[in-house]
Structure 1
Amino acid sequence: MHLVTVATCQLRQWALDFTGNCERILASIAIAKARGATLRVGPELEVPGYGCLDHFLEGDIILHSWEVLGQILQSPDAQGIVCDIGMPITHKNSNYNCRVIIYNGKIVLIRPKMWMANDGNYRELRHFTPWDKHRQTEKHSLPGIIRKITGQTHVPFGDAVVTTEDTVIGVETCEELFTPNSPHIAMGLDGVEIFTNSSASHHELRKLNRRVELIKEATMKLGGIYLYANQQGCDGDRLYYDGASLIALNGQILARGSQFSLNEVEVVTATIDLEAVRAHRTGSSRRMQAAQTEPFERYYVDTRLDGGQGLRIGEEETKAPGKVDIVYHTPEEEIALGPACWLWDYLRRSKTQGYFVPLSGGIDSCATAVIVHSMCRLVAKAAAEGNKQVIADARRMTGEPEDSAYLPTDAKEFCNRIFHTCYMGTQNSSAETRKRAKDLAEAIGAYHVDLNMDTAVAAVTGIFSMFTGKTPQFKVHGGSNAENLALQNIQARLRMVIGYTFAQLLPWARGKVGGLLVLGSANVDESLRGYLTKYDCSSADVNPIGGISKTDLKRFIAYAQKEFDLPILASFLDAVPSAELIPLGEGTTVQSDEVEMGMTYDELSVFGRLRKVEKCGPFSMFGKLVQEWGTFLSPTEIADKVKHFWFTHAINRHKMTTLTPSVHMESYSPEDNRFDMRPFLYPSRFDHQFAKIDALAAALPNRATQPGSDKAKVD
């Protein structure tokens, strides 16, 4: 057996936090060494933090990254171990996203990223140049601060591999794993046995399996050891990086880090037999392809990853590690954990004292509150396990001295200290929603306020009446559509004003200091449809559910009812979604969200995925839905639904420019900041597109009325 111990890690890095990032990097190296590892891999751009965005265009970022690397090179912890460090580097006046391979105070190789992530949430080509000189290196002139430390003036920069006395190491960076022609293929055929991949891969519902399967498939075909490192937590933006670092061998996962945790540093190690890689690569077709592969430049490190012990046979401690069965969280669990971890990072790093949410008695604000409850449960669990950082952060935000004995091990008690809710009712609110809000707050431990705001609403309408001599009326009382909408929006926007007032003053009223962050509670479907008032209580500091569909939120609440032992949640699931902004007249029913929108939440999810993920305009969306829905809806019915969606989406698109920053969770999010790059002023009637839809709908047969169709069976 030829055993090597390797380490990969996930770090809770923070954009521009050079001091904290350096401390976490050094801590991970120390842990790796303590476990006997001779190779350590860290996340992508771990020195400055991945989410610096346009700060990457500043020279300061490059300077400070070199300063941090200088500290690492001189640290005793970084001696005797090969380390793969991520940072930006300027080479010939172009910025590159780089991996820096160091050993014993020297830089062995700087390997720039070749394939950039440049869609969805990523804009790497805005900040970095891809290295397109494959299998080539150039000399990179080191800055003076590094020359004094390493004694080197120049180091190789480019696409090459690192060889030790006993193996060969190749480097990939994040997106390069996901490209059709990944670098590990050519490197593996040229004899690379250990692959490192440093990532900043964000969490998205139902996504982790893709990452894992790619790594398994790569090493199954090619053979080899694959070390995947990832960032974890919120680093200052809308993304939650979900860790799940792993080590794979020949298509099997040997070790994996947590996907959702509050740990600052997590290191994953495994001891692996290099002979297993070599045995896996004995196939004749692999040997034929390897013989034809162009070689990579190799840069030598005078060490052995086996620690200098060479071939070891028969030792008791050298048993090969067994494979790890990857357990994937359900979407409901992902909703409970991902946004909760993100909220904790945002709360502690913003140095505020807690969260505030307008609790309406509906399922959206309920889901927001339950996610905060889940956050408190995670804090209590981490505190019970002795997590020093979590305990210190909890003491600060609750006003407890650093050296106090307070431990936030009771989730409900901790929730009462940092989470505040408020029911802001009007004459149009029901007793049922008021009671649901109060009962939920009590069940999770939140500090709850129950108030009526009719006086504030009357004051605003009174001002308008005073200066115009006209008093607007609801439609049920004979008012126009304009009056009806304006009166609803007055209530909605006043809730934002009152909410921020209470968020700023509630801690003071309770004898505490500081302020609260306001949480929004508009789901991704309502944002897509524009079914919200601009600058109402959906306008907040952050929104934990803004990237989650209504359908998934309902499933999450059903899960939380059982998992968190919250029977009160059943009443939220049974309630009809309603804004409760208009009075009920004689013969009228409760204001239903789906009726007012003209479509169901399930239909909205379908429209959203077709629009964003499958890149459909109105005409192609109609074509796809005729195939999917044609057995129970006629072509003209489908056409009406498609045109209604596109019209309402278009006239409300401007609202997406003001959406509260949300945790990114869903692939069809309409978030305008950088994920969904589309106009906000549309020709909302889509004359040309809708005419083509109508013409095709008229020409197509109606399958919904044919014998054997779903609609015919129902009828």
Structure 2
Amino acid sequence: MGRAVSVAACALNQWALDFEGNAERILRSISIAKSKGARYRLGPELEIWPLMHRNVRYNCRVIFLNKKILLIRPKMSLANAGNYRELRWFTPWNKARQVEEYLLPRIIQEVTGQDTVPFGDAVLATKDTCLGTEICEELWAPNSPHIEMGLDGVEIFTNSSGSHHVLRKAHTRVDLVNSATAKNGGIYILSNQKGCDGDRLYYDGCAMISINGETVAQGSQFSLDDVEVLVATLDLEDVQSYRAEISSRNLAASKVNPFPRIKVNFALSCSDDLAVPICVPIQWKHHSPEEEICLGPACWLWDYLRRSRQAGFLLPLSGGIDSSATACIVYSMCHQVCLAVKNGNAEVLADARRIVHDETYVPQDPREFCKLVFTTCYMASENSSQDTRNRAKLLAEQIGR
């Protein structure tokens, strides 16, 4: 008899300090996940806010069930290179396989009816499976928690991520997720932040669900949708049978140091799930490098434009490669806006109307929309020629300027 579970991975465009908007997007994603039959929903990293425990600030996952907090799991491996430098804000949880009591704020106590909840490195044991948590960087670390958790019987791994776009990074992300369960078996669910963070970074979504080393559900990498929910139905028996065939894994599992288990009186699988179709492996569809260069910065520009509440962009064109490439990216942004409106994205339509100050406007032609939000001028120098002027003029005309 199978144990079919339906799980949801979400990609959300959460904004710093936009508490009401962030809550609305979270609730909308929960509603969508439930409507699609999911019994577990995973959101991106820091989709609400960090937590203080004993006067130390931690980046945490908070896991809920029916208005009760089951576990607060602090991040153990922090990203501290390149753009991140998480140690400026957070402290890693260094107490492996240890759990403490966390005193809830009174306002939360009134909602949940709980005074304290478990806080630390633990896993959840439901009636039918065991579920463990990773947070973003922990997937990339050489000693990823999913390795030991999998040996200890955890069948479902979840990763709330805030992974920004870098050219070809999606290849590495997908390989890491699939390899996490290829050697050890299991289901891996990854959610990711999407949108512009107000600075130079763009988070590209790319939520995914994998089982036993193979992708079964792929989210969009570049999308103007603020809320995207990916749902897959999988059979836990496939994990059990996959693991049973790996003798080296079973030998290692017999010696593993167990994790604290939080017992949960809830089953992810249902008795009526036998008729539900099980998702099958798919081939991940990657963008070409040229598509990534075209789409990533364009999505960043749109998010920056609507968040800044400005009316558009000004770009001096020289006829050279730098300004010309920038102009093409703006045009790509206009193309993505028109495509999103065509696909029924009401939020993009509302933002476009606000930007052009016309409540009846519908962006359909990228060249027309580009003319409304993009202003160019010719910028010459003593080294400029008539050829560069002609190139600038031709490009402006081609994109609607």
Under a length normalisation based on structure 1, what TM-score does the superposition of the two structures give? 0.55
Separation in structure 2 between the aligned mates of residue 226 and residue 201 of structure 1, nearest angstrom: 16
| Contact 1:103/1:301, CA 8 A, preserved across alignment | no
* Offset at residue 159 of structure 1 (A): 0.2
Which of 99, 123, 127 aligns to 2:61? It is 99
Which of 225, 239, 242 aligns to 2:201? It is 239
Separation in structure 2 between the aligned mates of residue 395 and residue 306 of structure 1, nearest angstrom: 45
2:26 counterpart residue number: 25
Pair 1:380-2:351 in alignment: no
Separation in structure 2 between the aligned mates of residue 327 and residue 39 of structure 1, nearest angstrom: 25
Separation in structure 1 between the aligned mates of residue 89 and residue 50 of structure 2, nearest angstrom: 10
Alignment-mate amino acid for residue 192 of structure 1: V
Per-residue Cα deviation, 1:29-85 (whole angstroms, up to 9, x for no partner): 1100000000000000011xxxxxxxxxxxxxxxxxxxxxxxxxxxxxxxxxxxxxx
Pair 1:251-2:209 in alignment: no
Separation in structure 2 between the aligned mates of residue 15 and residue 235 of structure 1, nearest angstrom: 8
Instruction: Report which of the two has the higher share of helix.
Output: 1
Per-residue Cα deviation, 1:434-483 (whole angstroms, up to 9, x for no partner): 1111111111002xxxxxxxxxxxxxxxxxxxxxxxxxxxxxxxxxxxxx
Which of 371, 384, 389 aligns to 2:347? It is 389
2:287 counterpart residue number: 329
Per-residue Cα deviation, 1:331-370 (whole angstroms, up to 9, x for no partner): 1111100000000000011000001100001111000000
Separation in structure 2 between the aligned mates of residue 319 and residue 214 of structure 1, nearest angstrom: 27
> Structure 2: which 5+ runs fail to align?
none
Pair 1:293-2:259 in alignment: no
1:433 counterpart residue number: 388
Alignment-mate amino acid for residue 445 of structure 1: G
Alignment-mate amino acid for residue 434 of structure 1: R
Alignment-mate amino acid for residue 333 of structure 2: M
Per-residue Cα deviation, 1:656-695 (whole angstroms, up to 9, x for no partner): xxxxxxxxxxxxxxxxxxxxxxxxxxxxxxxxxxxxxxxx
Query: Superposition RMSD on alpha carbons, in Å?
Result: 1.1
* Other structure's SS at 1:40 match: strand
Pair 1:338-2:296 in alignment: yes
Pair 1:303-2:266 in alignment: yes
Pair 1:362-2:362 in alignment: no
Structure-to-structure mapping, 1:108-257, within 5 angstroms = 108-257=70-219
Separation in structure 2 between the aligned mates of residue 285 and residue 438 of structure 1, nearest angstrom: 66
Separation in structure 2 between the aligned mates of residue 326 and residue 433 of structure 1, nearest angstrom: 42
| Contact 1:187/1:296, CA 8 A, preserved across alignment | yes
Instruction: Report which of the two has the higher share of strand.
Output: 2
Alignment-mate amino acid for residue 389 of structure 2: R
* Offset at residue 235 of structure 1 (A): 2.1
Separation in structure 2 between the aligned mates of residue 182 and residue 134 of structure 1, nearest angstrom: 12
Separation in structure 2 between the aligned mates of residue 429 and residue 139 of structure 1, nearest angstrom: 69
Per-residue Cα deviation, 1:95-144 (whole angstroms, up to 9, x for no partner): 00000000000000000000110011111111111111111100000000
2:7 counterpart residue number: 6
Pair 1:281-2:243 in alignment: yes
> Structure 1: which 5+ runs fail to align?
48-86, 447-715
Per-residue Cα deviation, 1:581-608 (whole angstroms, up to 9, x for no partner): xxxxxxxxxxxxxxxxxxxxxxxxxxxx
* Offset at residue 427 of structure 1 (A): 5.4
Alignment-mate amino acid for residue 443 of structure 1: Q
* Offset at residue 303 of structure 1 (A): 1.2
Q: Which has the larger radius of gyration?
A: 1
Alignment-mate amino acid for residue 142 of structure 1: L
* Other structure's SS at 1:140 match: strand
2:52 counterpart residue number: 90
* Other structure's SS at 1:7 match: strand
* Other structure's SS at 1:228 match: strand
Structure-to-structure mapping, 1:454-465, within 5 angstroms = none
* Offset at residue 416 of structure 1 (A): 0.6
Separation in structure 1 between the aligned mates of residue 278 and residue 157 of structure 2, nearest angstrom: 19
Separation in structure 2 between the aligned mates of residue 97 and residue 428 of structure 1, nearest angstrom: 53
* Other structure's SS at 2:268 match: coil
Separation in structure 2 between the aligned mates of residue 369 and residue 410 of structure 1, nearest angstrom: 16
* Offset at residue 323 of structure 1 (A): 1.2
Alignment-mate amino acid for residue 392 of structure 2: A
Separation in structure 2 between the aligned mates of residue 422 and residue 336 of structure 1, nearest angstrom: 22
Separation in structure 1 between the aligned mates of residue 157 and residue 139 of structure 2, nearest angstrom: 11
* Offset at residue 286 of structure 1 (A): 1.4
Runs of at least 4 residues off by over 6 Å: none
Separation in structure 1 between the aligned mates of residue 157 and residue 6 of structure 2, nearest angstrom: 14
1:261 counterpart residue number: 223
Separation in structure 1 between the aligned mates of residue 257 and residue 65 of structure 2, nearest angstrom: 27
* Other structure's SS at 2:23 match: helix
Structure-to-structure mapping, 1:546-625, within 5 angstroms = none
* Offset at residue 386 of structure 1 (A): 1.3
Alignment-mate amino acid for residue 268 of structure 2: L
Separation in structure 2 between the aligned mates of residue 299 and residue 139 of structure 1, nearest angstrom: 13
Under a length normalisation based on structure 2, what TM-score does the superposition of the two structures give? 0.98
* Other structure's SS at 1:281 match: helix
Alignment-mate amino acid for residue 18 of structure 1: F
1:63 counterpart residue number: none
